Structure 1
């Protein structure tokens, strides 16, 4: 399903700018809650949910907007009945990357006959107008962003807007992962550090704790030689030649 829009109208551009600011506003709360609110802002959606999936299609809810909209029991019902969703195969099994409308795969009147609708959508008051995009994020696997709204269905312009948000979502999740892996790292320094691999970020966290190569090897369950290889890669990326200089640069202090 190819996109046909390659431009934004002024009102759409304004919503996209507002949404992008929310994506990176780390003071506004947890990353997935921010992403859900950003998607709602950009596309005028009433409800947004972000969910993560492992290789066996196991699901975990990461965040949603508005807060407190669903209970743990609601998500358990959704997990059990999710294979009935019209987009389950395309988005969760095949992991197609484009934004898809549920109505393009099954008319609403048919969807209403499913157990998924009767046991989850109807009791929670979830609108059937739905747009979903999947995005790969190394640290989390496969994430879906689901938007729902009542009234008019999502448009081609909405699909285009959501597609433009995807790389910002991926970047924000990587930044949050790195901040967790390296305690004390300021989000303002991500332009310098967001190209680390997850394993390199773990090593940086170990360095900050003052661990030796042997201790890092034992903690991460990798060989001392592998530790050295990762350290050398880190030194190259930071333009330094030793662990003290690397740690100083990460923490933003004088070496």
Structure 2
């Protein structure tokens, strides 16, 4: 890895940490996308949730900022046109790939033509965040001209675990907010902050309260069991507890989990 790549990785890591430590990670997805735009020398970046069965999609982050009015329509159309990345994800593919690398007929396809008309792009790289039959989440980098080569693919593989961890925490916080109801959206995060708990620790605590082991929590949040144990040590200290059961009970009593 070159010195330049190491610096870029460090900057991506700093931004991911910012996403993990905010109570509104959605607000930082666009900032992250803006930085990734430069790292991958792209014309556009989109962080998208796909629903292949319903042929719908939703862009959650994008860059540059000006494409915001067009990106949602674009990703919806790409899903209806059965973009090659959808087939790749739903058949178990999960490594970062170039679209030209998985689709021999990419150039001249309906998806290719649509991307060129919308943004003037001809090459795409997909970095999966989550993949299932009904829902998939992916970062798509697009550029014009030369395809993404070995170096950007290697960088995509290197930062993929960081982005997956940030994405999973974002979804976990959203689940907590949905469970709290519209009126309690901000209350849970604010109550956690009053006890010194970060959004990351709140996500870990909520899974702990569901009865998950450290290994299962690590799997759910895409972090190591050792990292989970460090989070638990801090949680126990902040809640003045010394085990999983008492921490779960304290969290419910404080209204931090349902």
Where does 1:90-169 land on structure 2 (aligned, <5 Å)? Answer: 90-91=88-89, 93-106=90-103, 110-118=105-113, 120-136=114-130, 141-169=135-163
1:200 & 1:68 partners in 2: Cα distance?
A: 42
2:141 partner SS: strand
Cα–Cα, structure 1 residues 126 and 40, in superposed 2: closer, same or farther, change >3 Å?
A: same
CA deviations on 1:34-64 (whole Å, 9 max, x unpaired) are 3423432432323110111236253222111
| Counterpart position of 2:84 | 86
- Are 2:166 and 1:172 aligned? yes
Number of equivalent positions: 206
Cα–Cα, structure 1 residues 241 and 116, in superposed 2: closer, same or farther, change >3 Å?
A: closer
Which has the larger share of helix? 2
How far did residue 11 of structure 1 move?
Answer: 0.7
1:146 partner SS: strand
2:106 & 2:159 partners in 1: Cα distance?
A: 28
- Are 2:73 and 1:76 aligned? yes
| Counterpart position of 1:13 | 6
Cα–Cα, structure 1 residues 194 and 40, in superposed 2: closer, same or farther, change >3 Å?
A: same
1:194 & 1:175 partners in 2: Cα distance?
A: 7
How far did residue 164 of structure 1 move?
Answer: 1.8
How far did residue 23 of structure 1 move?
Answer: 2.1
1:174 & 1:245 partners in 2: Cα distance?
A: 21
Cα–Cα, structure 1 residues 86 and 178, in superposed 2: closer, same or farther, change >3 Å?
A: closer
| Counterpart position of 1:24 | 17
2:68 & 2:107 partners in 1: Cα distance?
A: 20
2:67 & 2:247 partners in 1: Cα distance?
A: 51
How far did residue 183 of structure 1 move?
Answer: 2.4
CA contact 1:22–1:37 (8 Å) conserved in 2: no
Gap runs ≥5 in structure 2:
177-187, 211-240
2:78 & 2:172 partners in 1: Cα distance?
A: 34
TM-score (norm 1): 0.64
2:94 partner SS: coil
TM-score (norm 2): 0.63
How far did residue 241 of structure 1 move?
Answer: 5.9
CA deviations on 1:66-88 (whole Å, 9 max, x unpaired) are 1131425x533542343443333
**Runs of 4+ deviating beyond 6 Å:** none
Which one has a bigger Cα radius of gyration?
1
2:120 partner SS: coil
- Are 2:201 and 1:192 aligned? yes
Cα–Cα, structure 1 residues 113 and 21, in superposed 2: closer, same or farther, change >3 Å?
A: same
- Are 2:53 and 1:59 aligned? no
